Structure 1
Amino acid sequence: MLAAYAATVNSQDPLSALEVGDIEAPQTPSDWETVTLSAAALNHHDVWSLRGVGLREDRLPMVLGCDGVGTTSDGEAVVLHSVIASPGWDGDETLDPRRTLLSELHPGTLAERVRVPRRNLVPLPDGMSVEHAACVSTSWLTAYRMVFVQAGVRPGDTVLVQGAGGGVATAAVQLGAAAGLRVWVTSRDESKGERAVQIGADRAFASGERLPGKVDAVIETVGAATWSHSIRSLKPGGTVVIAGTTSGPEPESAELTRIFFQQMRIQGSTMGTRAELGQLLSFMADKGIEPVIDSVRPLAQARSAFQAMIDGDVFGKLVVTMR
């Protein structure tokens, strides 16, 4: 089958580790479901895998991809939940210490077919396009959990989203605006800030710019480069929800004095549950939310999508189709 896969790993030149071509997928449990994929989307997780982060060399070659939408053998249109719980695990899949994501232990979604546990299938809502549904399982589910489960915000509250343009950031903007939150964003790129306003943000600011007021919560996926600004922008008693460190995990200052003195809450967040994926899809269908898509390419041209993600020249999701 045609797939985009890590043939090797290279921490300095991740694109050199990528192959797009025919591959025979490794074996998966016999009771898993085969899904013929229609579309999938890229995430930073895929680039980290090519760098060798979270992907051991003894698991190569490995089909990449966490997001996907397709059709089961009995014709059911489904969205894939990419968190694979360990056998016998019952409860929140994200808390399973032995959990993996598709493309870490088992082949991922950047392929013509994928096999997953039946419990990882969620019905595709009527009327939702496969391109939009392909965006949801990783960055959108991450944003949904950050905003609605971990942040503790209510309609009318102000939320700061650091780093407008990425998949989680654009999802947080669209979801937050649809739920009645006032969403502020920051970006190093003025044009990306303007586009964030077009999709629902109330205001956009330059990275590190002093805000006109304190916020109730911060959606933080950038890490070291924005950490101090996140803490200094937060109201006493507010919450920073962190789900990524794309600029690195070690800020110059941890801001511990400000955090304890102002009784701030630092909340980690990872992905989301299958139940939350179902809730997210229902919310999007009810509100008519369509994920921002940067571009759509055929799977055979996946290399150019990876190049765009590595270069950072992206606003919204990078989608590939299997047609």
Structure 2
Amino acid sequence: MPKVRVRRATTRHANVLLPPCPGPKLHAFKHADSPIIWGRRLDRDRDDNEGFVFQVEIDSKEYALKVFKFSHPRSNRYYRQTRLEKEIPLSQAIFYTDPFYAECRAYGRIQEGIDSRKVREHTAVKCHGYLYLTGEDERSLRRRGLDFEYQLMDRDLRKALGGDTRVRAIVKQLEKDTRRVDARNIRRAWRSVCLLNESLKIYNMDIRADNFISYRLVDFGSSWTEPHALLQFLEEEDKRLAEDKRLRDTSNFDDMIQEEQIPTRLRVLSTSRHQLRSRGRVG
């Protein structure tokens, strides 16, 4: 597929931090209004994807651009199947259930951790900020057969988004080294998860081999970052269930080791919270 250059109009969102709710926020990409040269698609074409990932060129530099589909809070079972739907309006719930805002919150917190020197950048693939696609960008991708799931945009969701139905994207570092997580880097991968969970209160919720490049996590579309409305609700309703959510990455990490048949003595499922913090500081 040849590269396609799309001219961009000024979007005037350079100083807006997202999401507009309590908690960490992500800044706009500094070249958000520059033309995008669309390259090849990097992710697997699956119906359950939160979006689409492309290799792109912006301002003469190459990046990985994750373009998000739209989602509706009512598709989230923790919102739909509890009294939370009555207590938190869509205008707030969208910021805790939508994969785009989940990534904004996680990467915003990671940047806070870097700025405060709580963690180093290697816990995740670097994020450069968010941007909105222009109509020309969107039409170009539609011609490639992509569906942004606009059918979910009922009146309530449009109102929750303030009428802003532009397609959202997050700009990430394009990694040339695409080695998978394996026996050589499994402990560093575990360290990354520990630092995110324990130091930054980010729970990825999607720990699997495909979500790592070497020992760094790539995708945070399913993540919960504290303070998080759904987690606070679970804390009030069932503290054990809330703790299970906080330990989901630990359980999934152990499952990944077994599923990928990675030779290692590392076993994390039965690790105590104190040991989690200790192991998280081991290189």
TM-score by length of 1: 0.24
Give 1 or 2: higher helix fraction: 2
Give 1 or 2: higher strand fraction: 1
